[in-house]
Structure 1
């Protein structure tokens, strides 16, 4: 039985605060990915609102499940695909907002992940998450991180040790630091023997925040299989999940990791 499937990353610009327009654009791009045979599709960070909406975070945040989750679930159910999106989540405690990635499938909501490592002024906007869940999709085990977290190897390693063979990074990553994006996306894939789907924003918001695009799909050897170069683009590639185990045998980082020593070192800090 083949263990190969098509995965896609949706690269797109957004209109600040305009959920209707952003969802319409996202739907068109997702449908393009579906038409090309993608079974797992990832949308960027805060794709339904744009990123620099800090003055409207409270108004734009949603419960999970909620409006955007239902929008995602309807597309997934209709097309039989798995979809990951990232948007502002309204916490159960009034006034708390999370930057949250959500995974849905043909049968509805699968689960969510709240961003743990917040970038710069995000620390004044969002509450930090605390958990690293891994979700079994049937054909693969999925871990989620968000944007800046691609530079923190601990998150991807924790997800990998918990069983993930694909880690997705919905992002609004800045153009000024694309050098970090380039190295980190490939490094997280190689050191863990995982597929990385790194999905980024494009465009400029408020005349000062420019996103770097360069959405990509990276294999367990750290090789870029497909990469975006346009403002609104579907990045798609076949991924062979059997390669995960083969690469982990070829360079046995996980086998040779002395977890007890690492954990002891962390505990002593």
Structure 2
């Protein structure tokens, strides 16, 4: 793998979280990240709001962090120590007082590489969070990465914009609900297939406030829509080797991006 720049080993971490307890969640995440590192992962994805839990709406202001902040600094230390790239979504304290974003961050060995604010909010997230409006793509030694978050797996527009901007890998830190597992199954494979891209989706498990049950089934999907690895345990690390040559090959085999009539799409984002 070291002699082939198109190959990478990626990992998705599936985990349950302790509601509102950053220290305990980071402690558990550290053990799972260590497991991924010991298996030679180059890129590691954690779930949405893994550091705080998801249903912390009463404490959003208290738990939100600036970027960089404590959780990003924790990620930076690990990324620097092991030479890996890490992706997670956390509560971000906005520039304007009182505004909070659900934000995915990408951290590499050199530090914070960038962030993405969730643009499509689910249900009560529309009350809790402010929407983002940018679709950045980040270059890494293991491919160009586009970030989305959870519910956005059901919106093909975001992943299509990212693909047109050059993304080879779509990453979805998630806290996706069990009642919609059927949508997760179909949408994760569809976003990979229609864009000819790899997809890494790291989801939550467990139940919060006795009513919000998370679906698990974190997965890594190839550009043909094939599931390379899937998590079935409460706390689990899944891994797969990806070959970026398959991205180019699949985009020639089913040329959705080539044949897309771009005149029908606003050029505001691409």
TM-score > 0.5, shorter chain as reference: yes
The match for 2:115 is 112
Which among 53, 58, 61 is matched to residue 58 of structure 1? 61
Deviation, 1:262, is: 4.0
Q: Unpaired runs of 5+ in structure 2?
A: none
Residue 239 (1) aligns with residue 242 (2): yes
The match for 1:20 is 23
Which among 141, 150, 167 is matched to residue 153 of structure 2? 150
Bigger mean CA deviation after superposition, 197-206 or 2-11: 2-11
The match for 1:192 is 195
Determine if contact 2:7/2:142 at 8 Å carries over to the other structure.
no
The match for 2:142 is 139
The match for 2:102 is 99
Q: Deviations for 1:56-115, whole angstroms, at most 9, x for unmatched residues?
A: 000000000111110000000000000001110000100000000000000000000000
For the residues of structure 1 that align with 2:266 and 2:27, how far apart are their CA atoms?
Answer: 46
Q: Unpaired runs of 5+ in structure 1?
A: none
Residue 215 (1) aligns with residue 218 (2): yes
Q: CA RMSD in A?
A: 1.1
For the residues of structure 1 that align with 2:151 and 2:198, how far apart are their CA atoms?
Answer: 18
Aligned positions of 1:151-190 closer than 5 A: 151-190=154-193
Deviation, 1:261, is: 2.8
How many residue pairs get aligned? The number is 265
The match for 1:42 is 45
For the residues of structure 2 that align with 1:12 and 1:139, how far apart are their CA atoms?
Answer: 25
For the residues of structure 1 that align with 2:191 and 2:79, how far apart are their CA atoms?
Answer: 28
Helix, strand or coil at the partner of 2:242: strand
Deviation, 1:5, is: 1.2
Which among 203, 206, 211 is matched to residue 206 of structure 2? 203
Helix, strand or coil at the partner of 2:153: helix
The match for 1:250 is 253
The match for 1:124 is 127
For the residues of structure 1 that align with 2:93 and 2:108, how far apart are their CA atoms?
Answer: 22
Determine if contact 2:114/2:138 at 8 Å carries over to the other structure.
yes
The match for 1:71 is 74
Deviation, 1:263, is: 4.1
For the residues of structure 2 that align with 1:145 and 1:113, how far apart are their CA atoms?
Answer: 8
Determine if contact 2:149/2:173 at 8 Å carries over to the other structure.
yes
For the residues of structure 1 that align with 2:238 and 2:204, how far apart are their CA atoms?
Answer: 13
TM-score scaled by length of structure 2 = 0.97
For the residues of structure 2 that align with 1:48 and 1:185, how far apart are their CA atoms?
Answer: 23
Which among 5, 8, 23 is matched to residue 8 of structure 2? 5
Helix, strand or coil at the partner of 1:155: helix
